[in-house]
């Protein structure tokens, strides 16, 4: 952890070194961010999401980071890489978003549906995620689990439950109260024969853990994420 912290005039900063081969891409030697605290204890907590984000940016620049053939995740990676390219050329975030949306949101008339449809749904979803309009739940599961100080068995159980939730609710805005209640009552209770008491999945800053049991009811709990403190939530519950 000290490798990612630096003290300047009594205040702590997060820092992540950029590999030499990628420094021209970012036009900098390292990532630096003020943690707005003089407390080392607080700094150690606040630096974690910064380090995760920096490492993700470096992985994107290297051309990896997902390790999956999933279409939406692969497309998100391509859009993020292009956003980095445009930023390196001095393009503002607002202009980059406009460029991406112009390409992704092209539509064609569907005669069978009688309406305009997005030509490339995966690209449209990816642009929405990259520029903050949507949040792909399964992208954040491992970051969330890594922020938890729990036993490996508990981590495995939480991973299973969160992946099950994310399979049904692709994006955070999909997880509305009526849909979640219907999923719990129909899919978990009726279809799978599980007894579940769950909580409101506000994601982020909260992720919902649904503990699945047979023959007894366990209370679900909400665990807070520290790296999405400015997210406005999904408007449910």
pLDDT of 119 over the 60 cut = yes
pLDDT mean over 183-204: 59
Q: Is 96 a domain residue?
A: yes
Task: Give the tens place of pLDDT for each residue, 31-42.
Answer: 999 999 999 999
Comparing 231 with 58, which gets the higher pLDDT? 58
The most confident of 63-72, 78-87, 100-109, 222-231, by mean pLDDT: 78-87
- Say if residue 151 is in the same domain as residue 218: yes
- Say if residue 77 is in the same domain as residue 29: no
- Say if residue 111 is in the same domain as residue 158: no
Q: Is 229 a domain residue?
A: no
- Say if residue 52 is in the same domain as residue 97: no
pLDDT of 212 over the 70 cut = no
Task: Indicate the pairing of strand 30-34 with strand 11-17.
Answer: antiparallel
Question: Range with the lowest mean pLDDT among 18-22, 48-52, 187-191?
Answer: 187-191
Q: Is 233 a domain residue?
A: no
- Say if residue 53 is in the same domain as residue 75: no
Last residue of a domain, one of 62, 81, 99: 62
pLDDT of 199 over the 50 cut = no
Last residue of a domain, one of 21, 37, 62: 62
pTM above 0.75, yes or no: no
- Say if residue 155 is in the same domain as residue 188: yes
**Domain of residue 19, residue span:** 2-62
Nearest CA to 103 among 83, 127, 139, 132? 127
Q: How many domains does the chain have?
A: 3
* Distance between CA atoms of residues 230 and 58, nearest Å: 23
**Joined tokens for residue 98:** 């406009």
Q: Is 29 a domain residue?
A: yes
Task: Give the tens place of pLDDT for each residue, 46-81.
Answer: 898 888 888 878 887 776 544 445 788 888 888 888
Q: Is 198 a domain residue?
A: yes
Last residue of a domain, one of 86, 112, 130: 130
* Distance between CA atoms of residues 134 and 126, nearest Å: 9
Predicted local distance difference test score (pLDDT) of residue 192? 64
Q: Reduce the DSSP state of residue 221 to 3 states and report it.
A: strand
- Say if residue 152 is in the same domain as residue 184: yes
* Distance between CA atoms of residues 193 and 8, nearest Å: 57
């Amino acid at each position: 952890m000290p490798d990612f912290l630096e003290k300047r005039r009594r205040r702590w900063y997060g820092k992540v070194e950029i590999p030499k081969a990628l420094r021209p891409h970012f036009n900098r030697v390292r990532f630096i961010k003020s943690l707005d605290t003089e407390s080392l204890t607080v700094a150690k907590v606040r630096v974690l999401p910064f380090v995760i984000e920096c490492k993700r940016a470096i992985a994107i620049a290297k051309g990896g980071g997902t390790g999956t053939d999933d279409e939406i995740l692969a497309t998100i990676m391509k859009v993020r890489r292009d956003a980095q390219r445009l930023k390196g050329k001095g393009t503002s975030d607002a202009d980059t978003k406009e460029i991406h949306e112009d390409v992704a949101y092209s539509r064609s008339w569907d005669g069978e549906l009688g309406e305009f449809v997005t030509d490339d749904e995966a690209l449209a979803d990816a642009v929405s995620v990259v520029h903050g309009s949507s949040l792909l739940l399964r992208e954040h599961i491992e970051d969330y689990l890594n922020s938890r100080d729990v036993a490996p068995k508990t981590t495995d159980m939480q991973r299973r439950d969160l992946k099950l939730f994310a399979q049904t609710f692709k994006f955070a805005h999909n997880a509305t109260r009526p849909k979640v209640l219907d999923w719990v009552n129909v899919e978990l209770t009726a279809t799978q024969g599980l007894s579940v008491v769950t909580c409101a999945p506000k994601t982020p800053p909260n992720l919902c853990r649904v503990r699945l049991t047979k023959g007894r009811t366990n209370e679900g709990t909400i665990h807070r994420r520290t790296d999405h403190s400015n997210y406005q939530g999904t408007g449910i519950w």
